[in-house]
Amino acid sequence: MKLRTLAILICVLILGSNARAQTLRVAAAADLQFAMSDLAGQYEKKTGIKPEISYGSSGNFRAQIANGAPFDLFFSADAMYPEQLVAAGVADAQSLVVYGQGHLVLWAPAGANLQLVQKGFAALKDPSVVKIAIANPEHAPYGRAAVAALQKAGLYQELKPKLVLGENISQAAQFAQSGNAQVGILALSLTFADSMKGGERWDIPADYYPPILQKAVIVSASQNKSVAKGFLDFVLSDEGRRVLAKYGLTPPERK
């Protein structure tokens, strides 16, 4: 009886160890909320491995990973933060890769009647626009891109008092949806949510802000590097890129 109990205990320990080995902890920028959920679902169907995704601002994730947060893989909304982790020896330089290019839009609820497509940036000067939602530029790449776009349009100083900052680009989108802001300068990828599809949208010309090259990297301390590489390879595959493109994240433009 004792031998049988011991055998069962050993089996449980082995199964538990295998389960931990198959757990993939992914830190993903907030603009990936819908694209990454789709990718993770498809990957689980193919492999049986279910990535555990945490969403937030890229800058906050950089700080957490640098301080030992137990992530295996980091999908940033820009190139800078993964590169900083590589430079600090916290992430694997060989795994660093651009997985997509992000795009910036003006978005407002359908009832706002701001005529964004016709007016573009001029719509932000409409008297009905009291608050403009952007992500916090201190740690959110889309926030920095929004500031750059407003500066290029010559409107930043004029509109700065109207800016309301979301902790990340997803929260900025929530501000615009909820009425806490009348319009948002947001990631294109978030506007594919069912709740946002009916709104007004104007794609900000790409020359108004630096290219938003989004990079991913495997964390050096990961105990599941082979699993992390498998998922990263899937994201970079033709199938993965089709999913990203469905949410407005395109391959980087060739110069």
Distance CA 106, CA 123 (A): 9
239 and 113: one domain? no
Q: What is the mean pLDDT of residues 65-85?
A: 97
Residue-level pLDDT at 132: 98
215 CB-near residues (< 8 Å, 6+ apart): 76, 78, 79, 82, 83, 96, 97, 98, 99
Residue-level pLDDT at 154: 98
Q: Could you tell me the two tokens for 249? A: 């994240």
216 and 97: one domain? yes
- The reply to whether 143 falls in a domain is yes
Does the CA dihedral 168-208-159-81 come out positive or negative?
Answer: positive
DSSP letter, residue 164? E
Residue-level pLDDT at 148: 98
Give the chain's domain count: 2
197 and 216: one domain? no
- The reply to whether 60 falls in a domain is yes
* Residue 97 pLDDT exceeds 70: yes
153 and 226: one domain? no
147 CB-near residues (< 8 Å, 6+ apart): 134, 137, 156
* Residue 5 pLDDT exceeds 50: no
Distance CA 251, CA 245 (A): 8
179 and 109: one domain? yes
Q: What is the mean pLDDT of residues 186-203?
A: 93
Indicate the average pLDDT of the chain: 91
For 63, 130, 175, 203, the CA distances from 110, given in Å and listed in that order, are 37, 17, 15, 16
* Residue 3 pLDDT exceeds 80: no
Q: 22 falls in which pLDDT band (50, 70, 90)?
A: low
Residues composing the chain: 255
For 93, 180, 229, the CA distances from 236, given in Å and listed in that order, are 17, 37, 10
Residue-level pLDDT at 62: 97
The amino acid present at 183, given as its one-letter code, is V
66 and 139: one domain? no
Q: Could you tell me the two tokens for 237? A: 């595959």
Position of tokens 């050096």?
220
* Residue 111 pLDDT exceeds 90: no
83 and 57: one domain? yes
**Count of other CB atoms within 10 angstroms of residue 5:** 9
- The reply to whether 255 falls in a domain is no
Residue-level pLDDT at 206: 95
194 and 109: one domain? yes
> Among the residues of the chain, which ranges form H helices?
2-21, 33-47, 58-66, 80-87, 116-119, 141-152, 156-159, 169-178, 225-236, 238-246
* Residue 6 pLDDT exceeds 50: no
Residue-level pLDDT at 253: 64
141 and 193: one domain? yes
Indicate which CATH number applies to the domain containing 24. 3.40.190.10
- Out of 19-33, 117-131, 157-171, which region has the weakest mean confidence (pLDDT)? 19-33
69 CB-near residues (< 8 Å, 6+ apart): 27, 61
Report the phi/psi class of residue 68: left, alpha or beta, with left for phi > 0 and alpha for psi in -120 to 50: left
Residue-level pLDDT at 197: 87
129 and 179: one domain? yes
181 and 236: one domain? no
Residue closest to 55 by CA, chosen among 38, 74, 70: 74
- The reply to whether 109 falls in a domain is yes
* Residue 251 pLDDT exceeds 90: no
25 and 53: one domain? yes
- Which residues form the domain of 128? 104-203
- The reply to whether 253 falls in a domain is no
